[in-house]
Amino acid sequence: MKITFANPALPAQGIVVVTATEGGKLSKSAEALDAKLGGALTRAAKAGKFKGKSGESVDLMAPDGRYERVLMVGLGKAEDMKDLGLQEAGGRVYAALSGQGANATVLVDAIEGTKMTAADMAANLGFGALLRSYRFDKYLTKEPKEKKPVLKGLKVTCASSAKAKAAFAGMEKVAEGVFFTRDLVSEPPNVLYPASLAKECQSLKKLGVKVTVLGEKEMRKLGMGALLGVGQGSDRESQMVIMEWTGVPKSKGAKAQQPVAFVGKGVTFDTGGISLKPSAGMEDMKWDMGGAGVVIGLMKALAGRKAKVNAVGVVGLVENMPGGNAQRPSDIVTSMSGQTVEVLNTDAEGRLVLADALWYTQTKYKPKFVVDLATLTGAIIVALGNERAGMYANDDKLADQVFQAGEAVDELVWRMPLGKAYDELLNSDAADMQNIGGRWGGSITAAQFLKRFIKDETPWVHLDIAGVAWSKKAKPVTPKGGTGYGVRLLDRVVADHYETK
């Protein structure tokens, strides 16, 4: 969908969207349109008990011979208005209008009592509408025409529309990163496997990202026995992809040149291996590469908006299959760090992939911090449901930055505990550690496992996104399906704290 911006003007016809704040106070454009319609908006608001609260709307179909439809949306209290609220309003506008005409005009006015300018409001509203407009429909060959969205363009009018357009330009690049992640997570596993996902990463080269792909031969030389063990039962070769974005001029000092790093679990399909999963729900395991998908989408967003930061994204890509050469429970593997792991459950495989990817990233790049993302455990869904990702950290400052960014963009996290007692559950009689810690606290012991591959000097956050990478219901800016959770969150962390001035 195309989002455009223009200076204020009341359209003569078509589909029009106006706003109101809590208490039913109409915006200036809404008042002008209401007068033109002989008070129809006011009457409809009264009949529908519309109070202008966030999430409320009034919908007039063909109110006269000129307008096809008029939609009035509530923005809530002026003093509480923030970016996120406008984005959610934009998402609701798209959801309401997607099945209607090809184009619509949204009239955005300055509102007394808010710190946001009309241009800020317009840009964020357009961003929310764009995020909600995503569809993964490439394999729907017989979808009825009436079910397809027809809204192709949204014109948002406001004072200083050039400023809105400029602000939206960066947001649009972030949306492109979110969409890339959603696309990757949604692809079926016969289409998306380690080599084809690595090829998708190569598309970032046109944005200026340096992309390096390691095959099994290269990883074997590096000693990545933990990662390679996971994929050895599959006919598809495991891969590791390294994506580097250089956004800091070489004239800047060494500290500015030090990159930030993101690492993702990329299990393109997870059968559980020899520790085979139950068949019910196994189809969901196509998105067990969700962490890698976020890292790839984030790198696209950072490069697309030309973020003033050096960033590296590393994804370990494997397919976990049973087979004659598959890893067995009780196998012992040697990780790149030199630490040995007794594999007691081959379905606890993501942590093995991340162990080598994390060690490689720290050793090669010595980053300012590492954030890893993984659809790692069902246990985190039991603990937090589908509302928040579990966050584990060895650094309070970084953890707080991630938490605050999550609150700002509605990609929520909740910090979970780490500790010696949990760590001891991973001790093995046969190797340096085992890959599971028992029935209880499964997400915590998984994080403790990862922590064993984090160097003391590296600030680190682990995000267990198993409950938030996919959604079976739509939210204001997120349609059901692959959510792209994590791209906006981590882009916000970088933008707020790590870009050079």
Residues identified as active-site? 277, 351
Terminal alpha carbon distance of the chain: 33
Question: Quick check: helix, strand or coil at residue 460?
Answer: strand
Count of CB atoms situated within 10 Å of the CB of 173: 20
Nearest partner of 353 among 298, 395, 295, 308, judged by Cα: 295
Q: CA nearest 242: which of 314, 318, 316, 336? A: 314
Query: Which one, of 268, 211, 251, 245, lies nearest residue 490 by Cα?
Result: 245
Per residue in 423-435, is it b (16+ CB within 10 Å) or e — as a string?
A: bebbeeeebbbbb
Rounded CA gap, 135 and 474, in Å?
A: 12
Q: Which residue has the tokens 């974005």?
A: 245
Measured between alpha carbons, how far is 183 from 296 in angstroms, rounded to an integer? 11
CA dist list (Å): 470 to 26, 299, 347, 387: 37, 20, 20, 11
**Closest listed residue to residue 443, CA positions, set 371, 387, 385, 364:** 385
Bridge partners (DSSP) of residue 370 are: 261, 460
Which residue type occupies 442?
A: G
